[in-house]
Structure 1
């Protein structure tokens, strides 16, 4: 895998319970899909969340935003494209695009910001504590505004 400008792709089939009375995907499900995307992203780079926790670091969410553009419906297959646009010693920023697979329509965009902390919820400088992991994350980033696919 070429880590520079890496984009993770996660395929999801919309389940009935993810839809609302109008027959479209309920908005909070996109946040779950964002989590699926970033979990796949870190796993693809060789670091599962479980491994990070064993190392004594966690990555809590401090901000999330979603922009809804078109609806997904039951049984649609969607692809979550996930990139990391910033990797610093203290935080990560992920950006997401959710597209319907059959017609490549952009459904939702968003971002999430996370901070590195230890088990006591104190900030950790990953550049100092885990330089190899930090270097891998920095090498994988796609600066904001660059083509992500």
Structure 2
């Protein structure tokens, strides 16, 4: 049995915009937000007491991105300090969904929000179930929401 530690419902990862991440207009190029989503996702998983790298190496599986939705609200610029808020939205079988918000720390402005949908795959890139340790921790994180429909994905305990 896994000991469940009370987690924050939203993980936070801080990033500072590097000059190379901006475009000719001086704003962050849109694809960089997807990289920051990944930073947030890995840190959220780590905050749950899990290790994505260990899942790949020891469990022989990964979580492939199969769908991304992003809404850009305001530009980030060089040297802005940002916080990427990440939450686990749903986890059922081989499907996992995360939600994100990127905010500028200086003024709290919401710059971007989005979601990613992932499918758990083995090294052969075929769909497989989430390893039990991860599935149990994700279900505990989702708490009472685990048996409810959340944003179009049904999550089961």
How many angstroms does 1:32 deviate by? 0.5
Aligned to 1:20: 23
Residue range with higher mean Cα deviation, 80-89 or 135-144: 135-144
Match of 1:134 in 2: 135
Report deviation, 1:6.
2.0
Match of 1:39 in 2: 42
Runs of 4+ in 1 over 2 A off after TM superposition: 141-145
Aligned partner of 2:95 among 81, 91, 107: 91
Q: Aligned residue pairs: how many? A: 141
Give the deviation of 1:133 after TM superposition. Answer: 1.8
User: Within 1, Cα distance between the matches of 2:45 and 2:95?
Assistant: 14
Q: For 1:132, what is the secondary structure of its paired residue?
A: helix
TM-superposed deviation, 1:46 = 1.9
Kindly indicate whether structure 1 or structure 2 has the higher relative contact order, using CA contacts under 8 Å at least 6 residues apart.
Answer: 1
Give the alignment of 1:1-149 within 5 angstroms.
Answer: 2-3=6-7, 6-54=9-57, 55-126=59-130, 130-141=131-142, 144=150
Normalised by the length of structure 1, the TM-score is 0.88
Give the C-alpha shift of residue 106 in structure 1: 0.3
8 A Cα contact 1:11 1:79, kept in partner: yes
The separation in 2 between residues aligned to 1:97 and 1:26, in whole angstroms, is 16
